[in-house]
Chains A and B, each alone.
Chain A
Amino acid sequence: METPDIVLEALDIHKSFGGVPALDGCSITLPRGSVTGLIGPNGSGKSTLIEIISGLLAPDRGTVRMAGTNITSWPPYRRSRHGLARTFQVSRLWEKLSVAENLMAATPSRGRDDLWRTYFGRRALRKADEADRDVIYQTLSGFDLWRLRDEPAGVLSGGQARLLEFSRIMVSGATVALLDEPLAGVNPVMADSVLSGVRQLNDRGITLLLVEHNLSVVEKLCPMVYGMETGQVTASGSISELVNTQFFADAYIGRSRERRKS
């Protein structure tokens, strides 16, 4: 049997906060080039899983592998250099840096984080800057942010902020990106351009994990979806397959019934 090429997998992840489990043996795999959905009610542990995959939180138990390499104990910056990128549920831009600088700081360092070369290898660093110019220009104009290049990132609207986050991922040279509710904080008018941004990322060959509450969005973008409940993956498959499962009954229908009661 031929197994699909796995870019990222998280296996049997456990994490508890002060004795209360947030993740309880959770596993997901992302096949190369896919857009995989991750759905589940509030507090089911989706964001926690992303924190652990990106290395901002250490799991109590479990393994994270990227293209076969065990990266569980790697610090976040090392994972990033290995091709992992992410966005946050609430956008995290460098607000007092300009839009263009936000991209320059997200490109691979190529010696720019080296104090010695800052003074004694300036020509090489200037070349590195030159080399990034084209991709920065193309990315910014692709997301209609070029005209805002000299504005501080703090002035962007919610939707523009998301697009800038996507731009950072594009120029970072990532192969996998974890998107935590990219539509959160976005004005509905901008929702379509944010979604097309998600598609653009995928068209560039970036494998995506997409956390999203809106099921019709997930259905459109993700052929394969994981359903999470209380720290565990309890269902997987396409949305149309998930609709008939117990997961759906528990997580969505059950909850809405409860809500109606209260």
Chain B
Amino acid sequence: MSGFGQALGFGIVSAALIALSAVAMSMQFGVTKHANFAHGELLTISAFTMVLMQKVTQNLFLDAAVGICVSAALAWVINKTILQPFRRVVKRLIIMLIVTASVSQIVQSLLAVGFGTNYVVLSVPSETGRHIGPFVWTTIDVIIIVLAILVVALLHILLHYTSFGKAQRAVADDVDLARIVGINSGAVISRTWLLTGAVAGLAGSALAVTIGTFSNLLGFTFLLVTFAAVIVGGVGKMYGAVVGSLIVGIVTEVSGYYLSSGYKQVIALGVLIVVLLVRPNGFFATFVADTKA
């Protein structure tokens, strides 16, 4: 039983990590209407920035802050230099998937040129977990869970109570209509990417601190669970993404307790396929229409 409690505890931490990545992706997917296959690289770049920054300072918070800025900047630059020009010429949205897949390959390869394809190490003070209720968590775990909750709360406030949030939802609902009522959709999309990059960067730093050693494929591998969570939750719905992350995080960790941990990703795929078959638009799809009307 305590083993199960521990697995559940890991599941919650892993859900928090996924949630950070998934709320970012869900917001971007909802606004731009196409999946971003380079999402994982936003996480990777932040993690690698932390490794570099460790040569300057051992303060992990500072390292993470720089990582987040770099990731946000990368998201913004990718949108400005590649995605936006493509959006102007491309008729079929599906082409954007190929574009983002290429961007993903390019960033991955550039990182491999700079750092090699082997693992890099982020030194994190070692720490044994403490019992908190039925769970065993390290301080870092607790910080990540708290951060995830904070970020979701902040995003909620940002998206529901600020003019940026309203403009963003208008663009997500209907770009043309938003344009007619005078919203500068280009600027909204640009800022959405900046925000997506920042939150994904935070997810990347948190992931880096949790696992310590990783390669240039860190984010690409994490992309899968992120997709699973976002699709399970239904694209464009922040709370859907959170619930999706909880489902994916807990199911993979708890099943990892029973199966070999190597099959975690397979479980995530299983969850995704089942959801696609049962509810092609995610479990929370009906909620949109409700709030829209």
- Touching chains A and B, CB distance < 8 Å: yes
B residues less than 8 Å from A19 (CB atoms): 286, 289-290, 293
- In the bound complex, CA of A130 to CA of B90 (Å): 37
- In the bound complex, CA of A20 to CA of B292 (Å): 10
| A19-44 Cβ-contact flags toward B at 8 Å (1 or 0) | 11000000000000000000000000
B residues less than 8 Å from A18 (CB atoms): 286-290, 292-293
- In the bound complex, CA of A20 to CA of B288 (Å): 12
B residues less than 8 Å from A20 (CB atoms): 289, 293
Residues of B in contact with A, size category: under 10
- In the bound complex, CA of A87 to CA of B218 (Å): 49
Residues of A in contact with B, size category: under 10
Confirm or deny: A120 has a beta carbon within 8 angstroms of a beta carbon on chain B. Answer: no
Least CB distance from B293 to A in Å reads: 4
Q: Which chain B residue has the least Cβ–Cβ distance from A17?
A: B289
- In the bound complex, CA of A19 to CA of B289 (Å): 8
- In the bound complex, CA of A17 to CA of B286 (Å): 8
A residues less than 8 Å from B293 (CB atoms): 17-20
A residues less than 8 Å from B288 (CB atoms): 18
Given contacts A18-B288, A18-B289, A20-B293, 8 further A-B contacts (CB under 8 A): A17-B289, A17-B293, A18-B286, A18-B287, A18-B290, A19-B286, A19-B289, A19-B293
B residues less than 8 Å from A17 (CB atoms): 289, 293
A residues less than 8 Å from B290 (CB atoms): 18-19
- Residues of A at the B interface (CB closer than 8 Å) are 17-20
Q: Which chain A residue has the least Cβ–Cβ distance from B91?
A: A95
Within 8 A of A (CB), among B265-291: 286-290
Q: Which chain B residue has the least Cβ–Cβ distance from A20?
A: B293
- In the bound complex, CA of A17 to CA of B290 (Å): 8
Q: Which chain B residue has the least Cβ–Cβ distance from A154?
A: B91
Question: Can you list 11 contacts pairing A with B, beta carbon distance less than 8 Å?
Answer: A18-B286, A18-B287, A18-B289, A18-B290, A18-B293, A19-B286, A19-B289, A19-B290, A19-B293, A20-B289, A20-B293
A residues less than 8 Å from B289 (CB atoms): 17-20
- In the bound complex, CA of A57 to CA of B289 (Å): 16
Q: Which chain A residue has the least Cβ–Cβ distance from B289?
A: A18
A residues less than 8 Å from B286 (CB atoms): 18-19
Least CB distance from A60 to B in Å reads: 13
Q: Which chain B residue has the least Cβ–Cβ distance from A18?
A: B289
Least CB distance from A239 to B in Å reads: 32
Least CB distance from A161 to B in Å reads: 16
Least CB distance from B172 to A in Å reads: 16
Least CB distance from B92 to A in Å reads: 11
- In the bound complex, CA of A124 to CA of B290 (Å): 53
- In the bound complex, CA of A17 to CA of B288 (Å): 10
Least CB distance from A227 to B in Å reads: 24
Q: Which chain B residue has the least Cβ–Cβ distance from A95?
A: B91
Q: Which chain B residue has the least Cβ–Cβ distance from A16?
A: B289
- In the bound complex, CA of A20 to CA of B289 (Å): 8
Q: Which chain A residue has the least Cβ–Cβ distance from B287?
A: A18
Least CB distance from B10 to A in Å reads: 36
Q: Which chain A residue has the least Cβ–Cβ distance from B286?
A: A18
A residues less than 8 Å from B287 (CB atoms): 18
Least CB distance from A119 to B in Å reads: 29
- In the bound complex, CA of A116 to CA of B289 (Å): 44
Q: Which chain A residue has the least Cβ–Cβ distance from B293?
A: A20
Least CB distance from B277 to A in Å reads: 18
Least CB distance from A75 to B in Å reads: 16
Least CB distance from B245 to A in Å reads: 24
- In the bound complex, CA of A153 to CA of B86 (Å): 24
- In the bound complex, CA of A18 to CA of B289 (Å): 5
Least CB distance from B183 to A in Å reads: 22
Sorted from nearest, which 10 A-B pairs have the closest CB atoms? Answer: A18-B289, A20-B293, A18-B290, A17-B289, A18-B286, A19-B290, A18-B293, A18-B292, A18-B288, A19-B293
Least CB distance from A249 to B in Å reads: 27
Interface centre among A18, A19, A20 (most CB of B within 10 A): A18
A residues less than 8 Å from B292 (CB atoms): 18
Least CB distance from B269 to A in Å reads: 29
- In the bound complex, CA of A242 to CA of B167 (Å): 43
- In the bound complex, CA of A88 to CA of B292 (Å): 24
Least CB distance from A230 to B in Å reads: 13
Least CB distance from A206 to B in Å reads: 32
- In the bound complex, CA of A253 to CA of B192 (Å): 44
Q: Which chain A residue has the least Cβ–Cβ distance from B285?
A: A18
Least CB distance from A16 to B in Å reads: 9
Least CB distance from B136 to A in Å reads: 42
- In the bound complex, CA of A210 to CA of B292 (Å): 30
Least CB distance from A152 to B in Å reads: 13
Least CB distance from B224 to A in Å reads: 30
